[in-house]
Homo-oligomer: A and B are copies of this chain.
Amino acid sequence: MNLDPTDPEGSIARAAKASSNWGRWGADDVLGTLNHLDEAKRREGAALVRRGVSFSLSQRFDMNGPQKGWRRRTNPVHTMLDTGTDAALGNQGFPHGIGGADDVISMPLQCSTQWDGLGHIFDHGKAWNGRPAERVVTSDGDLVTGIEHMASHVAGRGVLLDVGRTIGADGVSGADGTAGTTATAGTTAAAGELPDGFAVTEAHLTATAEAQGVAIGRGDIVLVRTGQLARVRRDGWGDYAGGPAPGLSFTTAGWLHGSEIAAIATDTWGFEVRPNEFEHAFQPLHQVAIPHIGLLIGEMWDLDALARDCAADGVYEFWLTAAPLPITGAVGSPVNPIAVK
Residues of chain A whose beta carbon lies under 8 Å from any beta carbon of chain B: 8-9, 12, 38-43, 45-47, 49-56, 58-64, 69, 71-89, 91, 94-110, 119-125, 127, 132-142, 148, 151-155, 278, 280-284, 286-287, 319, 321, 323-332, 334-338, 340
Query: What's the Cα separation between A280 and B64 when bound, in Å?
Result: 25
The CA of A110 and the CA of B148, in the complex, are separated in Å by: 18
Evaluate contact between B325 and A58: CB separation under 8 angstroms: yes
A98 with B123, Cβ < 8 A, contacts A52-B39, A58-B151, A152-B55 known: yes
Task: Decide: B102 and A120 in contact? CB cutoff 8 A.
Answer: yes
Count identical subunits in the complex.
4
Sort A-B residue pairs by CB-CB distance and give the 6 closest, nearest first: A39-B52, A84-B133, A46-B49, A84-B137, A42-B52, A62-B328
B102 touches A73 (CB 8 A): yes
The reply to whether B336 and A326 form a contact with Cβ atoms under 8 Å apart is yes
Which chain B residues border A132 with CB–CB below 8 Å?
84, 88
Q: How far is the CA of A239 from the CA of B80 in the complex (A)?
A: 24
Contact B96 A12 (CB under 8 A): yes
Inter-chain contact A141/B78, CB cutoff 8 Å:
yes
Rounded to whole angstroms, the CA-CA distance of A281 and B137 in the bound complex is 26
The chain B residue with its CB closest to the CB of A134 is B88
